[in-house]
Amino acid sequence: MAHVPSDPVLFDDWHVVARSEQLEADKPLGVSLLGDDVVLWRGKDGVAAFRDVCIHRGARLSLGKVRDCTLVCPYHGWHYDQQGQCTHIPAQPNMVPPKKAKASTYQVKEKYGWIWLSLGNPARDVPVFSEWEDDSFRKVHVGPYSFPASGPRIIENFLDVAHFPFVHEGFLGDPTYPEIDEYEAEIAPDDASGEYGVIARDISVFQPDPDGTGEGRRIAYTYKVLRPLTATFVKSSAGARFAMYFTVTPRTERTSSVWAYIAMDYSTLTDDEIRSFQDMITLQDVPVVSSQRPELIALDLAEELHLRSDRISIAYRKWLRRLGLRYGVLA
Ligand code: FES
Ligand code: CO
Nearest CA to ligand 1 atom 4: 76
Nearest CA to ligand 1 atom 3: 57
What is the edge-to-edge ordering of all strands in the sheet holding 240-250?
A: 138-147, 256-264, 240-250, 230-237, 217-227, 198-207, 185-187
The best mutation among 52, 53, 57 to test binding of ligand 1, ranked by most ligand atoms within 8 Å of the C-beta, falls on 57
Residue 57 CA, closest ligand 1 atom number: 3
Please give the pLDDT value at position 37: 98
Coil, strand or helix at 250: strand
β partners of residue 110? 115
- Separation of 214 CA from ligand 2 center, angstroms? 21
User: Is the shortest distance between the CB of 321 and ligand 1 below 6 Å?
Assistant: no
Nearest CA to ligand 1 atom 2: 76
Tens of pLDDT, residues 69-89:
999 999 999 999 999 999 999
Phi and psi, residue 178, nearest 5°: -90, -5
- Separation of 314 CA from ligand 2 center, angstroms? 18
Question: Which residues, other chains included, contact 50 with Cβ-Cβ below 8 Å and sequence gap of 6+?
Answer: 38, 39, 61, 71, 80, 84, 103, 104, 105, 106
Distances (CA, A) of 191 to 15, 227, 324: 18, 10, 12
Q: In which residue ranges of the chain is pLDDT below 50?
A: 1-2
Please give the pLDDT value at position 194: 83
Q: Exposed, middle or buried, 94 (CB in 10 Å: 0-12/13-18/19+)? A: exposed
Please give the pLDDT value at position 2: 42
Q: What is the ipTM of this complex?
A: 0.97
Please give the pLDDT value at position 6: 74
User: Is the shortest distance between the CB of 59 and ligand 1 below 6 Å?
Assistant: yes
- Separation of 94 CA from ligand 2 center, angstroms? 60
User: Is the shortest distance between the CB of 275 and ligand 1 below 6 Å?
Assistant: no
Nearest ligand by distance to the CA of 89 = 1
Contact 290, 148 (CB under 8 A): yes
Say how far apart CA 206 and CA 194 lie, in whole Å.
31
Compute the residue count for the chain.
331
Please give the pLDDT value at position 92: 97
Q: Which long-range contacts (CB under 8 A, 24 or more apart) does 202-205 make?
A: 203/161, 203/312, 204/180, 205/161, 205/164, 205/173, 205/180
Contact 251, 31 (CB under 8 A): no
